[in-house]
């Protein structure tokens, strides 16, 4: 039944409370509810967090939403990983009810002494609730007794007596010691707090077979890179400030129906095939491609990464090449068509003849246990992060089971969902346990759609999924990057690195790789999915043809500013130009304003208009902003002129330093 004080429409609430809401150690999250009652008496409400050990944390008072009637909100912060709950308590508030009535009646000369008598009775009740063991009791007692004397002092003017009962020190005591009548408690509601890396991370993706690969200039023979040669690239990745290095599948690649360059069907004898066509006579998901090395080599690679402060994320692609050992040992794990052949993967218009998707319905227990075995195998080799390929093509119930099994014993292991699909599926995968999710960010390039998307991921779906803004992937090269020139790469990196606490870059981005296989396609020409790509990093750096210094600076800014390490703190501001995006993020005293010219071809100048309340700045107050990219300082206020030239710097990343 509804409580005596109704508490309704509670958020965050996932799947009617069957799944925990997303939370992260150290990140505040909002608890909201509609709290109301009959009549005109006032009420109060608060949120109590209960930590994974069952300890109740101090209550956090809810405040009314200024824009939505009866809506209340409190921000609470878990400080340890694990399963938390929260409760909402609401009550009739006789103190606030009296304060409201006294503030109206006494100045009007209505029931003056009666109001003071009632006020005195309320103060006596508060005084009786004080704990003598509390060090703050003595000071609170002094304040309350002074207020009682004022209420009783009929020699003073009524206005002076009322002022004493409205004094700030008394209001603080009354707020700290509320009188709760008709107490109603709703909950508990679940939330799960993951380690900070689940929210804040900077990803860099590369193919280890390309790093350190060589081609003999005389014979043209291509020699694959290995874990030993790829490990040499880790220093540069760490130097750019990334903290997760993501490897596409490292397993043996199928030989049957192997793809050639640019996804062709006629590979040559030396073509390497797609790493996502997993499995051959050399092994499956629990094996390493022999060109990359051995498990000892992999362990050394992971060890080197850890030394540099990098975590290794491994691709978990639950599919098989036609010659994967599973096809022979467990044919029931695949779908057989009417003609007796096994169905290969399709995502029209794309066809993947070299990949068999797994059927989870014929032997669900068998495939579940096999996948869990594989995940735990790689966990035993130091992998604590998995990037999951196309999870939306597998049953949600399977993922829920797998992620709960892993969380039960290893709650620090993280899973990134690569599901570019319908919102309901993306949200469901996040709700059942995926820690991060790829997003539609790659396809959000205009001002209005970026504004809407920043609000969506930070306020509307934040309890379900955490976004990871990848600027590119091996098979997503947006037209904006194809035709926008180097400025487009800066623009997208600046938005991704500041708009989301997690972001990612696929290797070659810093070299401005932008040529598609054909007009209208988002596939790279000579895609690294199908062939080894040799890059001359050193020459690009030496000749100044690399975006690496800019990416490095972005990651430095992210680490220096707690505001950029959170998700739920985005405020979209305004500009007079349809190509100037303005938003800010704040965390306590740290406030960052981002202003970006979305036009990679032309300078734009306009006026930006700021919501000063969101910045923690007073009305009409001037303040200093520091450009974290250029080092310049300006004095800003509510309305500010900006000019951004994409051939110089297309974005301001401004930290609010102090007022003047």
- Give all strands (DSSP E) within 553-618, no chain letters: 570-572, 574-575, 580-587, 590-597, 604-609
Strand partners, 388: 316, 417
Q: Which of 78, 28, 47 is nearest to 587 (CA)?
A: 28
Q: How confident is the model at residue 660 (pLDDT cuts 50, 70, 90)?
A: very low
Supply the pLDDT for residue 350.
76
Total length of the chain: 660
Among the residue ranges 263-272, 436-445, 464-473, the one predicted with the least confidence is: 263-272
d(Cα 22, Cα 17) in Å, to the nearest integer?
12
d(Cα 230, Cα 245) in Å, to the nearest integer?
11
Q: What average pLDDT does this structure show over 474-499?
A: 98
Q: Which of 367, 254, 374, 370 is nearest to 316 (CA)?
A: 374
**350: which 2 tokens?**
């794309």
Cβ-proximal residues to 199 (8 Å cutoff; 6+ apart), any chain: 24, 27, 466, 501, 502, 565, 566, 567
% of the chain residues with pLDDT over 90: 95
Q: What are the C-alpha distances in Å from 175 to residues 76, 91, 135, 486, 602?
A: 18, 13, 17, 56, 55
Write out pLDDT tens, residues 566-591: 999 999 999 999 999 999 999 999 99
Q: What average pLDDT does this structure show over 149-156?
A: 93
84 touches 190 (CB < 8 A): yes
d(Cα 354, Cα 368) in Å, to the nearest integer?
23
Q: How confident is the model at residue 123 (pLDDT cuts 50, 70, 90)?
A: very high
Q: Which of 361, 389, 245 is nearest to 303 (CA)?
A: 245
Q: Which of 357, 365, 359 is nearest to 389 (CA)?
A: 357
Supply the pLDDT for residue 94.
96
Does position 3 have pLDDT exceeding 80, yes or no? yes
Write out pLDDT tens, residues 186-210: 999 999 999 999 999 999 999 999 9
Q: What average pLDDT does this structure show over 593-611?
A: 98
Q: Which of 599, 504, 573 is nearest to 247 (CA)?
A: 504
Supply the pLDDT for residue 351.
82
628 carries an active-site annotation: no
Q: What average pLDDT does this structure show over 473-492?
A: 98
133 or 659: which carries more pLDDT confidence?
Answer: 133
Write out pLDDT tens, residues 549-564: 999 999 999 999 999 9
Does position 46 have pLDDT exceeding 50, yes or no? yes
Write out pLDDT tens, residues 359-373: 999 999 999 999 999
d(Cα 156, Cα 149) in Å, to the nearest integer?
11
**544: which 2 tokens?**
């100044």
Does position 255 have pLDDT exceeding 70, yes or no? yes
Q: What average pLDDT does this structure show over 627-648?
A: 97
Supply the pLDDT for residue 77.
98
Supply the pLDDT for residue 1.
79
389 carries an active-site annotation: yes
Q: What average pLDDT does this structure show over 341-370?
A: 92
Active-site hit among 389, 577, 599, 649: 389
Residue 610, CB-side half-sphere exposure with 13 Å CA sphere: 29
Q: Which residue bears the tokens 């938390």? A: 84
Q: Which residue bears the tokens 């009314």? A: 64
What is the average pLDDT value for the chain, to the nearest integer?
Answer: 96
Q: What are the C-alpha distances in Å from 434 to residues 126, 302, 525?
A: 47, 23, 32
Does position 259 have pLDDT exceeding 70, yes or no? yes
Supply the pLDDT for residue 346.
86
Does position 659 have pLDDT exceeding 60, yes or no? no
d(Cα 409, Cα 407) in Å, to the nearest integer?
5
d(Cα 228, Cα 208) in Å, to the nearest integer?
9
Active-site hit among 27, 271, 370, 418: 418
Write out pLDDT tens, residues 8-22: 999 999 999 999 999
**487: which 2 tokens?**
């400025």
Write out pLDDT tens, residues 511-535: 999 999 999 999 999 999 999 999 9
Supply the pLDDT for residue 428.
98
DSSP assignment of 486-513, as one string?
HHHHHHHHHHHHHHSSEEEEETTGGGT-
Residue 491, CB-side half-sphere exposure with 13 Å CA sphere: 32
Q: What average pLDDT does this structure show over 266-292?
A: 96
């Amino acid at each position: 039944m509804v409580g005596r004080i109704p508490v309704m429409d509670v958020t965050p609430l996932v799947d009617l409370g069957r799944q925990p809401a997303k939370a992260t150690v150290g990140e505040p999250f909002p608890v909201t509810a509609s709290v109301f009652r009959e009549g005109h008496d006032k009420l109060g409400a608060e949120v109590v967090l209960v930590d994974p050990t069952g300890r109740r944390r101090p209550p956090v008072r809810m405040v009314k939403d200024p824009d939505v009637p009866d809506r209340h909100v409190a921000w609470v912060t878990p400080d340890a990983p694990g399963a938390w709950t929260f409760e909402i308590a609401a009550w009739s508030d006789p103190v606030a009810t009296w304060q409201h009535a006294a503030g109206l009646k006494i100045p009007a000369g209505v029931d003056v002494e009666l109001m003071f008598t009632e006020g005195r009775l309320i103060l006596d009740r508060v005084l009786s609730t004080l704990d003598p063991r509390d060090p703050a009791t003595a000071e609170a007692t002094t304040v309350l007794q002074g207020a009682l004397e004022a209420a009783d002092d009929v020699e003073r003017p009524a206005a002076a007596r009322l002022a004493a009962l409205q004094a700030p020190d008394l209001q603080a005591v009354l707020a700290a010691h509320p009188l709760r009548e008709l107490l109603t408690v709703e909950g508990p509601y679940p939330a799960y707090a993951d380690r900070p890396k689940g929210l804040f991370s900077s990803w860099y993706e590369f193919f280890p077979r390309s790093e350190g690969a060589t081609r003999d200039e005389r014979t043209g023979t291509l020699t694959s890179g290995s874990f030993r040669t790829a490990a040499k690239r880790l220093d540069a990745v760490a130097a750019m400030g990334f903290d997760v290095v993501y490897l596409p599948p490292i397993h043996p690649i199928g030989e049957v129906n192997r793809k050639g360059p640019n996804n062709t069907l006629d590979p040559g004898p030396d073509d390497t095939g797609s790493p996502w066509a997993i499995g051959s006579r050399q092994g499956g998901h629990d094996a390493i491609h022999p060109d990359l090395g051995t498990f000892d080599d992999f362990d050394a690679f992971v060890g080197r990464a850890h030394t540099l402060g990098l975590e290794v994320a491994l691709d978990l692609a639950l599919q098989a090449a036609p010659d994967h050992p599973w096809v022979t040992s467990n044919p029931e794990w695949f779908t057989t068509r009417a003609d007796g052949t096994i169905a290969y993967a399709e995502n029209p218009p794309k066809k993947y003849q070299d990949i068999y998707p797994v059927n989870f319905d014929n032997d669900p227990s068998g495939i579940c246990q096999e996948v869990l075995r594989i995940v735990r195998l790689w966990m035993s080799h130091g992998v604590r992060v998995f990037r999951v390929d196309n999870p939306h093509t597998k049953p949600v119930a399977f993922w829920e089971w797998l992620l709960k099994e892993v969380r039960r014993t290893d709650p620090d292991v993280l899973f990134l969902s690569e599901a570019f699909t319908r919102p309901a599926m993306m949200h469901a995968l996040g709700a059942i346990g995926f820690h991060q999710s790829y997003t539609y960010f790659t396809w959000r390039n205009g001002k209005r759609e970026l504004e809407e998307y920043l609000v969506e991921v930070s306020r509307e779906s934040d309890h379900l999924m955490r976004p990871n803004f990848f600027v590119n992937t091996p098979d997503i090269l947006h037209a904006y990057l194809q035709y926008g020139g180097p400025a487009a790469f800066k623009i997208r990196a600046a938005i991704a690195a500041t708009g989301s606490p997690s972001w990612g870059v696929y290797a070659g981005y810093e070299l401005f790789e932008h040529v598609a296989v054909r007009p209208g396609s988002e596939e790279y020409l000579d895609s690294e999915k199908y062939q080894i790509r040799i890059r001359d990093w050193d020459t690009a750096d030496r000749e100044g043809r690399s975006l690496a210094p800019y990416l490095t600076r972005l990651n430095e800014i992210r680490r220096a500013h707690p505001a950029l390490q959170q998700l739920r703190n985005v405020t979209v501001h305004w500009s007079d130009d349809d190509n100037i995006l303005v938003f800010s993020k704040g965390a306590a005293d740290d406030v960052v304003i981002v202003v970006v010219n979305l036009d990679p071809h032309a300078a734009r100048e306009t006026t930006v208009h700021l919501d000063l309340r969101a910045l923690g700045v007073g009305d009409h107050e001037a303040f200093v902003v520091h450009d974290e990219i250029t080092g310049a300082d300006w004095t800003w206020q509510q309305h500010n002129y900006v000019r951004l030239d994409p051939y110089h710097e297309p974005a301001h990343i401004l930290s609010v330093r102090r007022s003047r």
